[in-house]
Structure 1
Amino acid sequence: MPSASTSLAVVAGLVVGAIASAPAAASADAVPGQLVVGFHGSVSSPARQRVIEQAGGRLVRRLSHIDGTVVRVRAKGLALSALQRRLRGQRGVRYAEPDYYLKKSTEPDDPLYAEQYALAATGAGAVNAPVAWTARTTCAKVAVLDTGAQYSHPDLTGNIWHNSHEVAGNDVDDDHNGYVDDYYGVDLVKGRDSGVDDEGHGTHVSGIIAGHGDNGTGISGLCWTGSVMPVKFMNSRGKGSSSDAVTGIDYAVRMGAKIVNGSFGSSSKSTALADAVDYAQSKGVLLVFAAGNDGTSNDSAPEYPAALTDSNIIAVAAVTTTGALASFSNYGTKSVDLGAPGDSIISTYLGSGYKVLSGTSMASPIVAAAAAMLRSRDPHLSYSQLRSAILSSTQPDAALAGKVAHPGVLDVGAALASAP
């Protein structure tokens, strides 16, 4: 058996080419000064008029006879919240609620967005991002264990985490965490400095998570604004040791990441890496791992760390534009959880450019980004709640039946709606 220092290779491998109702007065998402009031069917038109006027309102329009009568009401000389309270206390009134604004599905203005089938609202291989974007476009911090990131990329700058307790370039370990000048993440290959990418893979993964959205430039990540922590443990050839992967998980946890993406793997099981996964679990950290690109079953020929059985892991297979399991993707009903787009994915790349890559490396980060979006909405969600929300709301996909534990594709819009 290979030792614990066995190299862990980049998984991508395949390069294709270069609501609860708030008080009305406090609702910014509703028509100012206006309520929608529902009456029981037994309440006559004159009685409705009388109830509204006595409460301090003015009937504007009858809307429908759904389960009685629904009307539009405006406040007359008093606060809308007071009118709402008065109406809710009247006999015959079923509800009095804000007249909520309804928004169209939001899509970014990034010029390459049209090529990002993975983010579309429809399609078997898409994750329904526009529905999620109507509610949230920001995401919590995600540590990316990879080859680093080009933090100066115009579609990433501003979305890269920086160590606020460290002074960049002063050759001092200011925060006493054991690393000198780890300002934009850390380079574990060198043992110091920021996690600068010299291979490209990590920059591509980072853009999938948090390429600036709606900025008129390049692509959009699932997170329009976010915080990607580059933890570089793989070198310019896309290889890194399990000992550095262990160190990388430790660094991510110590620096406050609650979500970690790992687009790497090996057929050799490292006990040290398994211990690091256990440690992350004890600290409440969700780990999202690529299933691997061998086109084989992880149940019978495991790819680690994706095949580890800890409850804080989500293992991700890759699907194509049609929702079919990608020919290169590993699978397994016991060891792989769900599918996500991983075939012909365009994202940020070295030299401030963009590139199309395929692999489960591209599928994993979009799931990590979905978890970060959920955690941004509620930072108290546990890894088990994040995991449950994502896996219980997948879009059913017959092509994944008998291939993954939850036979469906990530649906970030549904996950956001279902999270506690």
Structure 2
Amino acid sequence: MTLRRTLPALTVLTFALLTACNTAPITDTSANNKGAPRFDYVATVPLESGDTPKDLSRTLGGTVLSWDNTDCGTADSEICVALMGMNIKNTVQGKASPQTAQLHAQGLEAQASRKVYIEPNKDVFSGGGSITATMGGSMGVWAGGSMGVWAGGSMGVWAGGIYAPLPQNTTLWQKIRLQQAHTLAPSLGAGVIVAVIDTGIDLKHPAFQGSLTAAASWRDFYANDAIPQEEGVLGIGGYGHGTNVAGIVLQIAPKAKIMPLRVLGQDGSGDVIMVAQAVDWAVANGAKIINMSLGSEDNSKVVQDAIDRAIGKGILVVSSAGNANLNKITYPATNADLKGTGNYAVSVGSVSLQDVKSTFSNYADTLEMVAPGENVAAPAPGGMLAAWSGTSMAAPMAAGGLALALGQTLSVPLSDLTQKMVGNAFDVYGISANQPYKDKLGDKGRLDLETFLKSAIVVK
């Protein structure tokens, strides 16, 4: 994209994970640094007094990506760690595998005389969903102005019961009671930053003008620069995914601010270290909600450590369930109901406009709720408009709903907010088509913004 080429790339090799402690970044002074480094594996190495990045790299044969020895030897020494990127020759069918990681970790532990955790890193995460419709022929032109303009001033979001910015979404938003939600939460998410960790967005799209955080808070962890611009061709791979997701958040909470963070490439996949870095970055730069419309088949300790740091600071995390029609949801959604995490996290699957489980949506007894994720119209790169389907489209509806609540005075503790959303969902189990999925489409079922807000905010 030309936008990326007009700005100089930063020379930082990779930003350190930003924990509560001061973390020293490892930098690359090369003038030819292009893109973030890619490693097959990432290792978490506990640090000890006297360790240095150079010595650890020489001993273990990896590249130090982040370094935090602030509290070594104290009661908080569990956060005294280094993250290292590693390329190991032995793979399974050409891909990094947990089995290889475990064997290599055993060897490293003998070398370093300490516990070392290794997990596959490269292309472990992917964004879900697919483009299902373009508007007005081959591609529709966005004609709704910016979300921020529609949220105030002379134009209104709702006109005679029609959702004015995108009339084609009217039935969809009526289903989740969005018009009523906007009445109950007139701040419309003002003052709330939602970090969208995804493929980036179309930064120049008219829908986002006035609705993004300051440029200093943007980051592209995939390309290793400060311009999280989508790259690719619409309809191929993941291109347009993040733009759609961000546009959905703003349709629900038009006065919220989007923090665009890119961790996924053109094909929609990205690395563990990038996702973890983005979570920490979002927290350090003021996000109150993190939307992760992406997932992995396997849990990640590195990412979960970052999520745990986020929720430890009261940040809400929303994640999508995956699109393989499996009785198993993807990570990090699968961890959203765990003790210690569940109060600040929520997992979201997809249903149709008839509240029937979407044919693509994963399901499980650990899934917390669903939302209508089929043919959701939103901005598309190039100043265009397109519809996508996927649990990736359902998740930002929940993220936007949480932003509406945070823009108002809460009537419940922050730690109860996600459970109020889950517990006040519309019951979808009375629908015969959903009987095979009993108790696997959430505690009750489909997002209902009106009943959620009535249970969670002070209504004036």
**Shorter-chain TM band:** 0.5 to 0.7
In the alignment, does 2:45 pair up with 1:12? no
Give the conservation status (yes or no) of the 8 Å contact 1:107–1:130: no
Amino acid at match of 2:211: N
Correspondence for 1:206: 246
User: SS at the partner of 1:203?
Assistant: helix
User: SS at the partner of 2:245?
Assistant: helix
**Which of 110, 119, 127 lines up with 2:173 in the alignment?**
119
User: SS at the partner of 1:260?
Assistant: strand
Change (3 A) 1:354 1:134: same
Amino acid at match of 1:202: G
Correspondence for 2:362: 330
Amino acid at match of 2:184: A
Correspondence for 2:143: none
Could you tell me the TM-score, scaled by structure 1's length?
0.67
For residues 75-100 of structure 1, the C-alpha deviation after alignment (integer angstroms, 9 at most, x for no partner) is xxxxxxxxxxxxxxxxxxxxxxxxxx
Which structure 2 residues correspond to residues 298-309 of structure 1 after superposition, within 5 A? 298=328, 302-308=329-335, 309=338
In the alignment, does 2:455 pair up with 1:418? yes
In the alignment, does 2:168 pair up with 1:135? no
User: SS at the partner of 1:143?
Assistant: strand
In the alignment, does 2:374 pair up with 1:343? yes
Amino acid at match of 2:164: D
Which structure 2 residues correspond to residues 176-325 of structure 1 after superposition, within 5 A? 182-183=216-217, 185-198=218-231, 199-210=239-250, 221-298=251-328, 302-308=329-335, 309=338, 310-311=341-342, 312-325=344-357
Correspondence for 2:208: 156
1:371 shift after superposition: 0.3
Q: Larger C-alpha radius of gyration, 1 or 2? A: 1
For residues 304-361 of structure 1, the C-alpha deviation after alignment (integer angstroms, 9 at most, x for no partner) is 111112212200010001000101101112x210110101111111011111111000
Q: Over aligned residue pairs, what C-alpha RMSD do you find?
A: 2.1
Amino acid at match of 1:10: S
Give the conservation status (yes or no) of the 8 Å contact 1:289–1:316: yes
Change (3 A) 1:395 1:242: same
State how far apart, in whole Å, the 2-side matches of 1:105 and 1:283 are: 41
State how far apart, in whole Å, the 2-side matches of 1:152 and 1:141 are: 19
State how far apart, in whole Å, the 2-side matches of 1:327 and 1:404 are: 13
For residues 211-253 of structure 1, the C-alpha deviation after alignment (integer angstroms, 9 at most, x for no partner) is xxxxxxxxxx112222011011111221110110000000000
Change (3 A) 1:380 1:242: farther
Correspondence for 1:96: none
User: SS at the partner of 2:386?
Assistant: strand
Give the conservation status (yes or no) of the 8 Å contact 2:422–2:444: no
State how far apart, in whole Å, the 2-side matches of 1:356 and 1:116 are: 13
Change (3 A) 1:418 1:380: closer
1:263 shift after superposition: 0.4
Identity %: 27
Give the conservation status (yes or no) of the 8 Å contact 2:127–2:269: no
In the alignment, does 2:198 pair up with 1:146? yes
Change (3 A) 1:380 1:191: farther
In structure 1, list runs of 5 or more residues that go unmatched.
19-102, 121-125, 164-181, 211-220
User: SS at the partner of 1:225?
Assistant: coil
Give the conservation status (yes or no) of the 8 Å contact 1:291–1:331: yes
Q: How many residues align?
A: 297
Change (3 A) 1:381 1:156: farther
Amino acid at match of 1:297: N
State how far apart, in whole Å, the 2-side matches of 1:115 and 1:240 are: 30
Give the conservation status (yes or no) of the 8 Å contact 1:6–1:268: no
Amino acid at match of 1:222: I
1:267 shift after superposition: 0.5
Give the conservation status (yes or no) of the 8 Å contact 1:13–1:359: yes
Amino acid at match of 1:303: T
State how far apart, in whole Å, the 1-side matches of 2:385 and 2:354 are: 23
Which structure 2 residues correspond to residues 5-154 of structure 1 after superposition, within 5 A? 5-18=121-134, 107-110=162-165, 112-120=166-174, 126-137=175-186, 138-139=188-189, 140-154=192-206
Amino acid at match of 1:328: F
In the alignment, does 2:421 pair up with 1:384? no
User: SS at the partner of 1:234?
Assistant: coil
User: SS at the partner of 1:134?
Assistant: helix
For residues 24-82 of structure 1, the C-alpha deviation after alignment (integer angstroms, 9 at most, x for no partner) is xxxxxxxxxxxxxxxxxxxxxxxxxxxxxxxxxxxxxxxxxxxxxxxxxxxxxxxxxxx
User: SS at the partner of 2:290?
Assistant: strand
State how far apart, in whole Å, the 1-side matches of 2:412 and 2:284 are: 19
1:134 shift after superposition: 1.6
Give the conservation status (yes or no) of the 8 Å contact 1:285–1:383: no
Could you tell me the TM-score, scaled by structure 2's length?
0.61
User: SS at the partner of 2:333?
Assistant: coil
Amino acid at match of 2:209: T
Give the conservation status (yes or no) of the 8 Å contact 1:141–1:226: yes
Amino acid at match of 2:393: M
Judging by fraction of residues, say which structure has more helix: 2
Judging by fraction of residues, say which structure has more strand: 1
In structure 2, list runs of 5 or more residues that go unmatched.
1-96, 99-118, 135-157, 232-238
